Structure 1
Amino acid sequence: MSSLAAAAPSVKALSVTDVVKRIWDGHEKRTILDGVSFDLARGELVIVRGPSGSGKTTLLAIVGAMLSPTSGEVHIDGEATSRLREGHRAEIRRRKVGFVFQDLQLVDGLTARDNVLLPCVPDGVRKADEVRADALLERFGLTSVAHGRARSLSGGERQRVALARALINDPALLVLDEPTAHLDDERATTIAAELSAVARDGRAVLVATHDARVTNSKGVTRVLDLAGGRVKPQS
């Protein structure tokens, strides 16, 4: 097993049970998610797909402990998050979840290496963190650009920096929102292969995407189709 891999305990990396999310839309409440349930084990690469407005982004925010559901239960690596205050959710999120946003959210004025190390800053960057960052940069073919500013990186390089940053704290769960939306075929295929490798390392990987280059890639365990706030039954 890779030195970057996490051990695989019997507990599910993610458990989502009957999650409902309602929001106020003017004077009415609108249901975004309506009784969503599924589990992810370490080693799985699972795709969430669905039309615009189906609730994918809201679902990612809830499973990534960025947002609380209206009702239902979410457990990340055995820890309940649904009823926690934001401060407690943030702590679990930082320890247990790696997130790659659609817009990546890199700090353009920082180097690639410093971007990877950003999640370590709240606790103080340790030598071990620096060693891990360098190992991740090497793993994703970024050693030669490690000390270049993020603004100077190509689209594929930026995506891999964001992926390395999401893995720096050795999370149980990796969540990605449309990770290949702006990449050409070669780079999209590379990212899909890297996600499969991350899952094989012993993490659960959840990807929201419309991209068939990812959905149909080798290593995908399941595809969850989301429509009208519900997961459609598997045919």
Structure 2
Amino acid sequence: MANLSSSTIMLTGAGGALATAVAQELEDAGAQLVLVGRGEALSRAADRVPATEVLDLDLRDPASVDALRKVKVDALVHTVGAYAAQDVHKATDEDLRAMFDTNMLTLFHAVQGVLPHMLRQKDGMIVGVSSGTAARMSGPKAALYTASKAALAAYILSLHDELKSRGVRGCVLYPMGAIDTPRNREAGIDWDHLIDPRGLAKSVAHALTRPDRAHVTELKVYPDA
């Protein structure tokens, strides 16, 4: 997928800070976009960026798969995710389901939606956003979050190993720190150690444009400072 100007890319989590930066980067490169998100955030994204399709879907719902299968795309960039902190000994089944439903199940359904077309055309790319805690396999007060993001990474890397001979590749993006979003700034995270979403967006574009022989399966992006 060396030429983004001839590609159609599905972007999930449309309207979020990272997805917004990715959408702008891909639009600038000439890609056609399919935006997947929810409610007002999706509407704002659709107002900012031209899209061939705008799908208001809850990717935790298995019914979303049928809707996604009606759209033919060359790549999926999955940015849906959430973070929650809790003490390990206080975590509940509900906490576990919330983290895995948002961080892993949404990816599973998105992949199930786009994969049939990619396999038919013998070409496709799946990019998922994990986290620095998953890359390190640890994080204080983040056992469930880390486990869910590690599951996402393992799923994409296994998908890559299984399907690369059929033309479908995978790549995991690891932000090695907090992303610069309004919510993270309001939370008081040190601004000097936030990762610029535009830098992450450029990393996504880089992964998407690698030829088969130079494909990258994992990218770690660090804060500037």
Greater RCO, 1 or 2 (C-alpha within 8 Å, sep 6+): 1
Q: Which structure: greater strand fraction?
A: 1
Q: Same fold (TM over 0.5)?
A: no
Q: Which structure: greater helix fraction?
A: 2
TM-score by length of 2: 0.32
